[in-house]
Amino acid sequence: MRAAILRRDGYRCQMCKRYGRLRQATTVHHIKHLDEYPELAMNPDNLVSVCAACHNELHPEKAAEKNKRDPAGSRFL
């Protein structure tokens, strides 16, 4: 499914595309989060290709959790 979504979106980040930027997409993001909508896990309408930077913006809680576990890896120190 991941490969099909990346191919559908032309391997381009769809968030960056909105702002006229062309960045390679490396991740497929669930628009509606899996923990709340598990039935949409494999629904192509709920999946979008994004670059790593945009995916991090979409999931700030993951970055915060990583910094708690590994503060030496934080870019803010």
pLDDT for the residue 74: 44
Task: Report which residue type is found at 8.
Answer: R
- Report if pTM > 0.85: no
H/E stretch holding 20 reads none
Beta carbons within 8 Å of 36's beta carbon, 6+ residues apart:
none
Q: pLDDT (tens digit, 9 = 90+) per residue, 7-51?
A: 999 999 999 999 999 999 999 999 999 999 999 999 999 999 999
How far apart are the C-alpha atoms of 56 and 67, rounded to whole Å? 13
Question: How does residue 62 score in pLDDT terms, banded at 50, 70 and 90?
Answer: confident
Burial class (CB in 10 A: 0-12, 13-18, 19+), 46: middle
Query: For tokens 């598990």, what's the residue?
Result: 38
